[in-house]
């Protein structure tokens, strides 16, 4: 009997060992998820800081080519993170994913030159959320067997049906991010099995700031400049989440 208990204890000890390795691997994946989100944010920031220029009806050629855009993304990333997006310390996979994100951004900006440079047109609908969706889709075409990035939102806030949360995202949003006990800004990540595959999933909450409310704020139901009814959101409310999937 004692021997049997020992064997059980031994068995547990053996099982615990890979658990440790697993935890380390998770740290690497969390870093990777945060990197993917940080690059996406840098891209959105650049669309945002050029929004007045993009929507200026008095200027035709805005000089905002894919290359010019990437220079600004690099600067925005350095300003926010203190290091270059393609610094020397990246692993081969990190480099591949970051390069794919940056390439996707340059392509989307290049493909939208005609829209961006349309003379005599004010608001063009080339806003951070649309840019992010197009970039994430292009990123998926490039490296979707390794990683996916998506921006989603609580179901009642979703504007574009492509952004609708899947069951995992919906449950993290409702059970964690919208729970009164949740620490604001805290991300959630876990290993899950999806279609028989082990995948790492991470969801990073995003909150409305004052600048979001011209479109997502009050009065609820009033149509915003993009043609969507406003959500009636307030500063600090959960507005959405960046969803990262890493395939093993
Ligand atoms: C100029 C109006 C405008 C502003 C300002 C704006 N948004 Fe949006 N937002 C939109 C539109 C339009 C979409 C749908 C984009 C698409 O077609 O994918 C959207 C989509 C989103 C989504 C993706 C989910 C969905 O509903 O499709 C999130 C999350 C989001 N916005 C959050 C924010 C946050 C946070 C801010 C402020 C930092 C912000 N938005 C500022 C107009 C705006």
Query: So what's the pLDDT on residue 211?
Result: 96
The ranges assigned to domains in the chain are 22-144, 146-248
Q: Ligand 1 mean position to 129 CA, how many Å? A: 5
Phi, psi of 169 (to 5 degrees): -65, -45
pLDDT top residue among 203 and 11: 203
* Whether the predicted pLDDT of 188 surpasses 50: yes
> Does residue 216 have its Cβ closer than 6 Å to ligand 1?
yes
For ligand 1, pick from 44, 129, 185 the residue to mutate: most ligand atoms within 8 Å of CB: 129
Q: Ligand 1 mean position to 153 CA, how many Å? A: 10
Q: Ligand 1 mean position to 56 CA, how many Å? A: 20
How far, CA to CA in Å, does 16 sit from each of 10, 19, 20, 125, 199?
10, 5, 7, 52, 20
> Does residue 235 have its Cβ closer than 6 Å to ligand 1?
no
Q: Which atom of ligand 1 is nearest to the CA of 132?
A: 18
**Rounded (10°) CA dihedral 136, 145, 206, 215:** 30
> Tokens for 198?
């082990």
> Tokens for 200?
């790492």
* Length in residues, the chain: 248
Query: So what's the pLDDT on residue 22?
Result: 63
- At 62-87, the pLDDT tens digits run 999 999 999 999 999 999 999 999 99
pLDDT, average across residues 154-170:
98
Q: How far apart are CA 80 and CA 32, in angstroms?
A: 16
Query: So what's the pLDDT on residue 9?
Result: 44
The percent of residues above 90 in pLDDT, for the chain, comes to: 88
> Does residue 238 have its Cβ closer than 6 Å to ligand 1?
no
- At 93-151, the pLDDT tens digits run 999 999 999 999 999 999 999 999 999 999 999 999 999 999 999 999 999 999 999 99
Please give the mean pLDDT across all residues of the chain.
92
Q: Ligand 1 mean position to 192 CA, how many Å? A: 28
Phi, psi of 147 (to 5 degrees): -155, 155
For ligand 1, pick from 52, 151, 216 the residue to mutate: most ligand atoms within 8 Å of CB: 216
* Whether the predicted pLDDT of 1 surpasses 50: no
Query: So what's the pLDDT on residue 67?
Result: 98
CATH number of 146-248: 3.30.450
Query: So what's the pLDDT on residue 25?
Result: 76
């Amino acid at each position: 009997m004692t021997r049997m208990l020992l064997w059980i204890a031994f068995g547990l000890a053996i099982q615990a060992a890979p658990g440790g390795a697993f935890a380390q691997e998770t740290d690497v994946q969390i870093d990777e998820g945060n990197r993917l989100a940080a690059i996406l944010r840098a891209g959105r920031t650049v669309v945002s800081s050029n929004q007045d220029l993009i929507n200026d009806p008095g200027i035709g050629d805005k000089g905002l080519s894919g290359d010019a855009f990437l220079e600004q993304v690099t600067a925005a990333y350095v300003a926010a993170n203190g290091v270059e997006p393609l610094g020397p310390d990246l692993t081969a996979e990190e480099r591949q994913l970051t390069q794919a994100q940056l390439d996707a951004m340059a392509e989307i900006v290049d493909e939208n030159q005609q829209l961006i440079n349309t003379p005599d047109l004010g608001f063009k609908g080339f806003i951070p959320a649309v840019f992010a969706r197009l970039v994430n889709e292009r990123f998926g075409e490039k490296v979707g067997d390794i990683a996916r990035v998506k921006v989603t939102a609580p179901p009642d806030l979703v504007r574009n049906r492509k952004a609708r949360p899947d069951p995992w995202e919906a449950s993290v949003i409702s059970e964690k991010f919208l729970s009164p006990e949740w620490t604001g800004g805290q991300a959630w990540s876990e290993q899950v099995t999806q279609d028989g595959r082990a995948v790492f999933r991470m969801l990073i909450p995003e909150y409305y700031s004052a600048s979001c409310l011209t479109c997502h704020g009050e009065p609820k139901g009033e149509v915003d400049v993009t043609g969507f009814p406003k959500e009636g959101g307030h500063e600090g409310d959960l507005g959405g989440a960046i969803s990262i999937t890493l395939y093993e």
